[in-house]
């Protein structure tokens, strides 16, 4: 705890606490042997914030590296969980951040913890859904309404060592004699959803026969046919 306080004190003293021009601490936390501090500077009103990532050695408070991203740290909460906007997976620090302007979206950037090397810059993917087998999973086009692409699931997988991206464009088949899911998109918006675990991605939809879940192996091939289960 002493090391953490010693680390944060200079930043706290240098912060003006104002949203306009100060260097505001927006998040901080430790994982393993390192401690991350996230600061923002610029105007909230005009969407010109810049997010700075400061990574320190937890043992002695030594600054390992610093990187800057346009936008703000994206932190959200729901009835079931809080999403901090950043995390560490294996040897990677990932950060979810918003762009400014009217048509804003949530991007995700990954850095190698040891030296701050940029591993990926994913546009409009929000938060990572899962990670396993050396891969981290994102759902693309998060800002677009899912009701325009009810049968299309676009994924991007990044290698946690190299950052290399693999894109999977999957399709949910419509059930025989159950009509189209598009007929139920607007009336039953609450049924549309995605979630994932270490192996599978799940997509919930509704048609004339009721609610169902399509399960994809996100480590599998693009041509795969999902398992369909009534809910």
85, 153: one domain:
no
52, 112: one domain:
yes
14, 73: one domain:
yes
Domain C-terminal end among 126, 143, 161: 126
CATH of the domain at 85: 2.40.10.480
Q: Terminal CA-to-CA distance of the chain, rounded, Å?
A: 47
112, 145: one domain:
no
Mean pLDDT of the chain: 85
120, 150: one domain:
no
114, 66: one domain:
yes
pLDDT tens-digit readout, 187-224: 666 778 899 999 999 999 989 999 999 999 999 999 99
Q: How much is the pLDDT for 76?
A: 77
Q: What is the domain range of residue 184? A: 128-231
Domain count, the chain: 2
pLDDT tens-digit readout, 17-63: 443 446 788 999 998 899 999 999 876 665 568 999 999 998 888 99
Work out whether the CA dihedral 86, 191, 211, 151 comes out positive or negative.
negative
pLDDT tens-digit readout, 139-192: 998 655 555 568 889 999 999 999 999 999 999 999 999 998 878 766 666 778
73, 135: one domain:
no
pLDDT above 70 for 9: no
Q: How much is the pLDDT for 175?
A: 93
121, 138: one domain:
no
The pTM of this model reads 0.85
Domain C-terminal end among 126, 160, 183: 126
């Amino acid at each position: 705890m002493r090391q953490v306080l010693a680390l944060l004190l200079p930043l706290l003293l240098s912060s003006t606490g104002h949203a306009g021009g100060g260097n505001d601490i927006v998040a901080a936390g430790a994982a393993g042997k390192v401690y991350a501090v996230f600061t923002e500077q610029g105007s909230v009103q005009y969407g010109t914030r810049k997010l700075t990532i400061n990574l320190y050695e937890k043992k002695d408070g030594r600054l390992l590296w610093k990187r800057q991203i346009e936008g703000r740290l994206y932190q959200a909460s729901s009835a079931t969980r809080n999403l901090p906007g950043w995390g560490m997976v294996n040897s990677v620090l990932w950060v979810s951040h918003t762009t400014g302007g009217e048509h804003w979206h949530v991007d995700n950037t990954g850095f190698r913890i040891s030296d701050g090397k940029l591993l990926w810059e994913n546009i409009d993917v929000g938060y990572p859904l899962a990670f396993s087998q050396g891969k981290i999973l994102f759902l693309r086009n998060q800002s677009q309404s899912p009701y325009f692409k009810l049968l299309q699931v676009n994924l991007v997988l990044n290698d946690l060592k190299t950052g290399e991206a693999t894109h999977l464009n999957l399709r949910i088949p419509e059930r025989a004699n159950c009509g189209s899911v598009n007929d139920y998109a607007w009336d039953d918006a609450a049924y549309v959803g995605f979630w994932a675990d270490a192996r599978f991605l799940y997509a919930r939809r509704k048609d004339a026969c009721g609610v169902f879940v399509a399960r994809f192996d996100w480590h599998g091939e693009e041509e795969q046919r999902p398992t369909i289960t009534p809910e």
